[in-house]
Amino acid sequence: MKVAIYARYSSDNQRDASIADQFRMCRLHAEKQGWIIVEEYSDHAISGASLLRPGVQALISDATRGRFDLVLAEAMDRLSRDQEDIAGLFKRMSYSDVKIFTLSEGEVSHLHVGLKGTMNALFLKDLADKTRRGQRGRVEAGKSGGGNAYGYDVVKKLDSNGEPIRGDRTINDAQAEVVRRIFRDYAAGKSAKTIAFALNKEGIPAPSGGDWGFSTINGNPKRGNGILNNEMYVGKIVWNRQRFVKDPDTGKRQARPNPEEDWVIQEVPELRILEDELWETVKARQARNRLARDENGHAEVATVNRRRRPKYLFSGLTKCACCGGGYSAISATLIGCSTARNKGTCDNRVNIRRDELESRVLNALRTRLVDPALFARFCEVFTQEVNRLRMEGRANLAAAEAEIRKIDRELDTLLDLIFKGGAADRINAKMVGLEQRKKEVEAFLAEADEPPPLLHPSMAQLYRSRVQGLYDALQGEDEEKRTEAADIIRTLVEDIVLTPVDGKVEIDVRGDLAGILTLSVQTKNPAGRAGSSQVKMVAGACNRPGGAPPWALT
């Protein structure tokens, strides 16, 4: 029995020793059972409310490849506390013929998943409720209900039992002076960007310890974040302004505003940094700015879980060679280094027209994609990949055929036992199971095609036509085709590095040219595990050792 051990501790139990303890107990159990430990997986200080953890994702990936037969953990809640996630994990392991065993529950069954999953989900809800009650109690006592804000220091002290007293804050005089300066400058008409430039120029660290950005100052008035919106500066703690819910698709928390009547507001005059007059002046200017944006049609529209396509072809892919920051729009037609314009910590002030950038990159991609040397390399990688698929496919088909022959032999043996007076009921039950398995394997063989040929006879022509087709689709009038082509082009490019050279921009495109074109022949189910997804991408990022080469375009 090949075994994988999994261990986890969450952020409410900050002890690396906890991982070592779980591993030790699981190893002892495995040794007693005579199991072979092939791998150990762990997640440190990560909540069990999500499966988006590197350790458990590696565990799932290796299970699908058949690295082990059983997953061993201290308890089910180490694997996940979320009811949906533990059920999904159980399904994935069952599909891969991997059992789950814990020291607390033994071998995990559907019953465990249902009952323990519900109990763990209730535990999470109860923990969240207790945490919120504790936070509310601290706020009503005039203490902070959460993290620390810029301008204040955390007061560290213990109670009579040696437990830390949470929520006490004191004013940090140096940071408080920076807060007053930001409010005075903004009230005097300076923009948040100008203020951030000045702070960065003087080397004043931002709240995160890095550089100031205009968003750090502006924040979001509705959420109450950002320097200009923190009401603690006028002696008020506002708690429960928003709540967080987990996106079931990404596992990430999303902020949702709470009704104003649910807010908890506590006066803390000892923490006041600003006078009311300065605060109100800043609020009045913010209101005027919002009104001006509304009149110009640029008001921000709140959306929930809206996933938008990139506005432009290469949005989010362009980077500054000087600082590593992104390029963003500085006018209707020009893009420039966002760090240079928003923080002032980069000296790159060379801009480029967006349409010029897109035209140069697209023309270069079209030219280089059909380069004979690159196509020869593509064919080489294509052949290697299809060879691998053929070997895997033929091996799986042979294994399925061998299993059918084995089942037939076992059925013949069972028939002989019946003729000799064996226990017919038990033998018949086993025969039914074998017949069912035989039908499953035969169905798999009927659906699976032979592995594809090494080279498609018209691959060169197909390759070139696909490349030209992408380019033509981007120039055409069909919106659906343009969108599809843009998505494919974006996957060809990892990033576009823009370097200022003598007042002009040098473009360096990095990405995987050959790995995105779907040039392999289509099959129904090529020789993998029954039900596995069809692999269309025939060449990966390994166009050469170390990854795909960049293509310098000037």
Give 186's Cβ-side CA count (13 Å radius): 27
Q: Cβ–Cβ contacts within 10 Å for residue 376, how many? A: 10
Domain parsing of the chain, residue ranges: 2-125, 169-295, 372-388+454-553
Strand partners, 153: 170
**259: confidence class by pLDDT, cuts 50, 70, 90:** confident
CB 509 within 8 A of CB 553: yes
421 phi-psi bin (left φ>0, alpha ψ -120 to 50, beta other): left
Tokens of residue 467, six digits: 């490349």
pLDDT at 211 over 80: yes
Q: Give Cα 115 to chain centroid, integer Å.
A: 30
Q: What pLDDT score does 393 carry?
A: 65
CB 55 within 8 A of CB 6: yes
The length of the chain in residues reads 554
Q: What pLDDT score does 532 carry?
A: 30
User: From CA 106, how far away is CA 101, in angstroms rounded?
Assistant: 5
User: Nearest-CA neighbor of 242 among 220, 227, 213, 218?
Assistant: 220
Q: What pLDDT score does 531 carry?
A: 33
pLDDT tens by residue, 524-553: 333 443 333 222 222 233 333 333 333 333
pLDDT at 460 over 80: no
pLDDT tens by residue, 275-296: 999 999 999 998 888 877 665 5
User: From CA 502, how far away is CA 479, in angstroms rounded?
Assistant: 38
Highest mean pLDDT among 265-269, 393-397, 412-416: 265-269
Q: What is the mean pLDDT of residues 217-231?
A: 86
Q: What's the topology of domain 169-295? A: Hect, E3 ligase catalytic domain fold (3.90.1750)
Q: What pLDDT score does 36 carry?
A: 93
User: Nearest-CA neighbor of 216 among 195, 237, 189, 232?
Assistant: 195
Q: What pLDDT score does 538 carry?
A: 26
The answer as to CATH 3.40.50.1390 being correct for domain 2-125 is yes
pLDDT tens by residue, 42-72: 888 666 556 678 888 899 989 988 999 999 9
**262: confidence class by pLDDT, cuts 50, 70, 90:** confident
pLDDT tens by residue, 294-345: 655 544 443 334 445 567 778 888 899 999 888 988 888 899 998 888 888 8
Residue with tokens 């040397």: 373
Residue with tokens 């052949």: 383
Q: What pLDDT score does 182 carry?
A: 94
pLDDT tens by residue, 347-361: 898 999 988 888 888
User: Nearest-CA neighbor of 171 among 191, 148, 194?
Assistant: 148
pLDDT, mean over the chain: 75
